[in-house]
Amino acid sequence: MSGEYALAFKLLGVGMITVFLILFLVVVFGNVIIRLVNKYFPEAEKVLPSNTGEGISRKKLAAITAAVNIATKGKGKITNIEKL
Amino acid sequence: MTAFQAIFEHPAVLLMLLIGSVLLYLGIRKKYEPLLLIPIAFGIILANLPGGQMGVVPGESIELGHEHYMNLFEIAHKFGIMNFLYYALIKTGLLPPLIFMGVGALTDFGPMLRNLRLAFFGAAAQIGIFTVFLAAISLGFTPREAGSLGIIGGADGPTAIYTTIKLAPHLLGPIAIAAYSYMSLVPVIIPMVVRGLVSKNELKINMKEQDKLFPPKHKIKNLKLVKILFPISMIIVIAILVPTATPLLGMLFFGNLVKEIGSTVGRLTDAATTTIMNSATIFLGLTVGATMTAKVFLEPKTLGIIVGGFLAFAISIAGGIVAVKLYNVFSKKKINPLVGATGLSAVPMASRVANEIALKHDSGNHILQYCMASNISGVIGSAVAAGVLMTFLA
């Protein structure tokens, strides 16, 4: 029984240290990835007009963009939106 | 021949039919984790109908000696289809990782990546697993059984089932029931622990105001790419350090990767989150339920599992809260202790419950995104804890 208690205390220590270590690495690697991506692959900030000339609102524009992205699997590009 | 004689000879099956019916009621009427509780409850009923050959038999029954076992055809022929399903899908450990793939495809790591510091509270909340492991050993459980009992504190059904399959398959039924019952009781258990440990002032800590006072150092400039690189790099790191956690976390990160890649592999995401996950859930529930025959379930250990599971849950929540309180002692930027309370896995229910508590005390204090950060890290944390248990005990 004392052997089992020793195992239990050992697992308590090793287990918690391992969980903290892994989540520490999640934090470290997450930060490294964010910094590298920010430095080498930043995405140009999209400035959406509050209202386009034809009266299309930001929300509608976002919905149209999302629909085009899904339909063209991300390859399509919106160049002009006309109200018919 | 009818089954009346068998029922008269073993009246305990009537109690099991009653338990199955009660669980069905809770799933259908009260909507307690219905997607899993209903198949489990129906599995219990099927397993305890005498003569139906739907109850799962213990591993010794299929052993031929010298570590040789019957093949699946022989199992189906001798013990029926439920045993075929159990030994093919559950005993091999197949279904929990498949469910984890679907969970990954439904998980957004975005909130965690925006608040990486909060991931530590997902680690602190695993304390319940190891404390209950210790307590269970003192109550006479074997180390393997204690490990399976403790993992309920991770509040993650597939992880609890996977660990139990590897450590103590004879306890699979009661542990699955306890894990999913307590997960459905998260809206009751979290407020209960919070009331005991957190003051009203602490509950009013506004995370967005704290962010304004102490803004994050880095703003993510290409979230999509970060989200794609994150699961790939993390699985390599975790698999090297805790290889036994790879089946669960590997599938979780794969599911997440296909989700983040987007429409190019949209069909894979759809399959992972619907067809595969739903099929896996049905078979997991039915077969886990079918392990709960009267002989296996009606034992004193089942009561120990019910009590121990609750303690594991409550201690995990308390562990996360205490970790936040300790952090607040040393940091200028304060964190709402409710964020720590969500360090256990039950995603996203734990976060929703914590957010509701925060809103009750301050209607403008929306902490859902912050809770999700520790909540998601809790999924990783509990799988790692399971990996540690399996490494030492399996």
Q: Residue B377: its pLDDT value, please?
A: 95
Residue from the list A22, A30, A73 with its beta carbon closest to the beta carbon of B230: A30
Nearest Cα of chain A lies from the Cα of B343 at a distance, in angstroms, of: 12
User: Do A79 and A64 share a structural domain?
Assistant: yes
pLDDT tens figures, B168-200 = 999 998 999 899 888 888 988 999 999 999 999
User: Do A52 and A81 share a structural domain?
Assistant: yes
> What is the number of helices (H) and of strands (E) in chain A?
2, 0
User: Do A51 and A37 share a structural domain?
Assistant: no
Say if the Cβ atoms of B262 and A11 lie within 8 Å: no
Specify the length of chain B in residues: 394
CB B332 within 8 A of CB B344: no
Interface test with B, best of A10, A22, A28, A72 (most B CBs within 10 A): A22
Whether the per-residue pLDDT at B9 is higher than 60: the answer is yes
- In three-state form (DSSP H/G/I as H, E/B as E, the rest C), the secondary structure along chain B is CCCHHHHHHCCHHHHHHHHHHHHHHHHHCCCCCHHHHHHHHHHHHHHCCCCCCCCCCCHHHHEEECCEECCHHHHHHHHCHHHHHHHHHHCCCCHHHHHHHHHHHHCCCHHHHHCHHHHHHHHHCCHHHHHHHHHHHHCCCCHHHHHHHHHHHHCCHHHHHHHHHHHCHHHHHHHHHHHHHHHHCHHHHHHHHHHHHCCHHHHCCCHHHHHHHCCCCCCCCCHHHHHHHHHHHHHHHHHHHCHHHHHHHHHHHHHHHHHHHCHHHHHHHHHHHHHHHHHHHHHHHHHHHHCCCHHHHCCHHHHHHHHHHHHHHHHHHHHHHHHHHHHHHHCCCCCCHHHHHCCCCCCCHHHHHHHHHHHHHCCCCCCHHHHHHHHHHHHHHHHHHHHHHHHHHC
Chain B CB contacts of A29 below 8 Å: 230, 233-234, 237
Q: Residue A53: its pLDDT value, please?
A: 53
User: Do A80 and A53 share a structural domain?
Assistant: yes
User: Do A23 and A3 share a structural domain?
Assistant: yes
Interface residues of A toward B, Cβ cutoff 8 Å, are 4-5, 7-12, 14-16, 18-27, 29-31, 33-35, 37-38, 41-43, 69-70, 73-74
What average pLDDT does range B318-328 have in this prediction?
A: 96
Interface test with B, best of A2, A11, A39 (most B CBs within 10 A): A11
Residue B165 CB burial class (10 angstroms; 0-12, 13-18, ≥19): buried
pLDDT tens figures, B50-100 = 988 899 998 889 988 887 889 999 999 999 999 999 999 998 999 999 999
Whether the per-residue pLDDT at B384 is higher than 90: the answer is yes
Q: Residue A75: its pLDDT value, please?
A: 65
Q: Residue A41: its pLDDT value, please?
A: 92
User: Do A64 and A33 share a structural domain?
Assistant: no
Say if the Cβ atoms of B264 and A20 lie within 8 Å: no
Average pLDDT, chain B: 92
Q: Residue A47: its pLDDT value, please?
A: 58
Per-residue buried b or exposed e for B311-333, using 16+ beta carbons within 10 Å of the residue's own CB: bbbbbbbbbbbbbbbebbeeeee
Nearest Cα of chain A lies from the Cα of B36 at a distance, in angstroms, of: 28
User: Do A33 and A4 share a structural domain?
Assistant: yes
User: Do A37 and A4 share a structural domain?
Assistant: yes
Say if the Cβ atoms of A12 and B119 lie within 8 Å: no
Taking CA atoms, what residue in B is nearest to A67?
B263
Q: Residue B235: its pLDDT value, please?
A: 96
User: Do A9 and A33 share a structural domain?
Assistant: yes
Nearest Cα of chain A lies from the Cα of B246 at a distance, in angstroms, of: 13
Whether the per-residue pLDDT at B328 is higher than 90: the answer is yes
pLDDT tens figures, B234-273 = 999 999 999 999 999 999 999 999 999 998 999 999 999 9
Chain B CB contacts of A27 below 8 Å: 116-117, 119-120
Nearest Cα of chain A lies from the Cα of B255 at a distance, in angstroms, of: 18
Say if the Cβ atoms of A27 and B143 lie within 8 Å: no
pLDDT tens figures, A12-67 = 999 999 999 999 999 999 999 999 999 999 987 665 555 555 567 777 888 888 88
User: How much of chain B, in percent, has pLDDT values that exceed 90?
Assistant: 77
Structural domain total, chain A = 2
User: Do A66 and A38 share a structural domain?
Assistant: no
Whether the per-residue pLDDT at B361 is higher than 80: the answer is yes
Query: Residue for token digits 């009621």?
Result: B25
User: Do A39 and A6 share a structural domain?
Assistant: yes
pLDDT band at A73 (very low <50, low <70, confident <90, very high): low
ipTM above 0.90, yes or no: no
Q: Which residue range forms the structural domain that includes residue A84?
A: 44-84
What average pLDDT does range B89-114 have in this prediction?
A: 94
Coil vs helix vs strand at A52:
coil
Contacts A–B by Cβ distance under 8 A:
132
Say if the Cβ atoms of A22 and B381 lie within 8 Å: yes
What average pLDDT does range B207-234 have in this prediction?
A: 91
Whether the per-residue pLDDT at B129 is higher than 90: the answer is yes
User: Do A72 and A34 share a structural domain?
Assistant: no
Whether the per-residue pLDDT at B296 is higher than 70: the answer is yes
